[in-house]
């Protein structure tokens, strides 16, 4: 089983923290959609005929597309790929793009069965700080409309660690999420990415420096409160009720193949990674000339090992010792077991059967621990 990701690189306005590829101009939208259709055909053999179990429209803002535009793209995918009858079909959406009529049209005229909603916060001060296009009322109204239209498989994104967010406000965001009975939460610490508006504002003294200590404390709050409300932390930033893990994202973490379509989209076939150019004009021009503008990286054994350690440790599946031994050999297995002993003694790693898992305190240091275990 494999997945397909479609990147829709358009947004109404730029959020201060965002470093994803997008454009705030929609003038190339029709040309971009035509190019997506061509790339789907050009990439028809990339997944070697594997059945597609997940389809994910991300961005950018896929909810800027109409039902007809979604169907045009999905019909083209149907032509060249074998889609599973129980496919998980997710679209990312922003609250300000949605109306009840639009959501009902998606429900009645497309195969969309899962929403990932970019709420980020229910509090107006946070939304203004992040330069989100929606307001706090639209954040709550959009959830109600999605539910009223008959969708139950819903994920919302939340961001913590902003200077405007107190611990008490963070708990308000979380408890409001629980009140809506949202089955899936993706929660991320605010990160100051290079070349973003947020980085510029901080450098020029127009915004507070983001506090790592505050983010750590609010992540700990997140883990404890989600556990109290029966959400499973199945990946460092992802929490879900039983049976409602995101299949598409889980496949990334389980090392399954995926194909990315569109500018800046990434693909992985277990032997190599490739990523399309992050430029709408150059992408469209190359595709119309019959070529896919991408860079490619062949993965050697060291890279595959490091990626496995990094990704597996972030999940509740953990590093599987039997798989490690069979895939990378006894010597590497023995070395790994020796290297994790100090983290066991510190209470940051635990072993359950063949699974090596981070404890709660280990999760708070997931990136550092993984990098310490890399082959160099």
pLDDT level of residue 274 (50, 70, 90 thresholds): very high
Is the pTM higher than 0.75? The answer reads yes
Contact between 78 and 28 (Cβ < 8 Å): no
6-10, 101-105, 204-208, 351-355, range with the lowest pLDDT: 204-208
Question: Residue 74 CB: number of other CB atoms within 10 A?
Answer: 20
Given CA atoms 144, 149, 153, 155 in this order, what sign does their dihedral have? negative
The pLDDT, as a whole number, for residue 82 is 97
Residue ranges and CATH numbers for the domains of the chain are 2-253 (3.20.20.70), 301-372 (1.10.10)
The encoded tokens of residue 151 equal 């969708």
The pLDDT, as a whole number, for residue 14 is 85
13 Rama class: left (phi>0) / alpha (psi -120 to 50) / beta: beta
Cα angle 250-139-86, degrees, rounded to a multiple of 5:
35
The pLDDT, as a whole number, for residue 137 is 98
- For 309-353, write each residue's pLDDT tens digit: 999 999 999 999 999 999 999 999 999 999 999 999 999 999 999
Residues forming beta bridges with residue 188, ordered by sequence position: 159
Rounded Cα gap, residues 40 and 81, in angstroms: 9
- For 191-247, write each residue's pLDDT tens digit: 999 999 999 899 999 899 999 999 999 999 999 999 999 999 999 999 999 999 999
75-93: average pLDDT: 97
For residue 303, the SS3 value is helix
- Indicate if the pLDDT at residue 24 is higher than 90: no
pLDDT level of residue 13 (50, 70, 90 thresholds): confident
């Amino acid at each position: 089983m494999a997945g397909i990701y479609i990147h829709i690189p358009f947004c109404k306005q730029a959020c201060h923290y965002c470093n994803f590829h997008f454009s705030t101009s929609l003038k190339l939208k029709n040309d971009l959609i035509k190019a997506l259709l061509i790339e789907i055909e050009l990439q028809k053999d990339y997944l070697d005929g594997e059945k597609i179990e997940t389809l994910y429209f991300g961005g950018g803002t896929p909810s800027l597309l109409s039902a007809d535009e979604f169907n045009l793209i999905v019909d083209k995918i149907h032509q060249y790929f074998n889609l599973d009858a129980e496919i998980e079909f997710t679209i990312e959406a922003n609250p300000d793009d949605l109306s009840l009529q639009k959501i009902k049209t998606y429900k009645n005229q497309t195969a969309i069965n899962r929403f990932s909603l970019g709420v980020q916060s229910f509090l107006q001060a946070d939304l203004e700080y992040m330069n989100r296009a929606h307001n706090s009322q639209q954040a709550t109204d959009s959830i109600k409309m999605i539910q009223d239209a008959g969708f139950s498989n819903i994920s919302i994104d939340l961001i913590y660690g902003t200077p405007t967010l107190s611990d008490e406000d963070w708990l308000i965001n979380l408890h409001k999420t629980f009140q809506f009975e949202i089955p899936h939460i993706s929660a991320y610490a605010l990160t100051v990415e290079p070349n973003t508006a947020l980085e510029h504002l901080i450098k020029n003294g127009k915004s507070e420096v983001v506090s790592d200590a505050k983010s750590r404390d609010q992540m700990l709050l997140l883990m404890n409160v989600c556990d109290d409300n029966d959400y499973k932390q199945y990946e460092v930033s992802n929490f879900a009720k039983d049976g409602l893990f995101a299949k598409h994202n889980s496949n990334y973490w389980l090392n399954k193949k995926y194909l990315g379509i569109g500018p800046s989209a990434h693909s992985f076939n277990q032997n190599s990674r490739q990523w399309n150019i992050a430029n709408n004009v150059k992408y469209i021009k190359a595709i119309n000339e019959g070529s896919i503008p991408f860079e490619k990286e062949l993965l050697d054994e060291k890279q595959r090992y490091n990626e496995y350690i990094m990704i597996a440790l972030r999940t509740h599946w953990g590093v599987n010792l039997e798989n490690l031994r069979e895939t990378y050999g006894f010597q590497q297995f023995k070395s790994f077991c020796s290297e994790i002993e100090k983290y066991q003694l510190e209470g940051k790693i635990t072993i359950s059967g063949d699974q090596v898992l981070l404890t709660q305190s280990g999760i708070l240091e997931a990136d550092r621990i993984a990098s310490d275990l890399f082959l160099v």
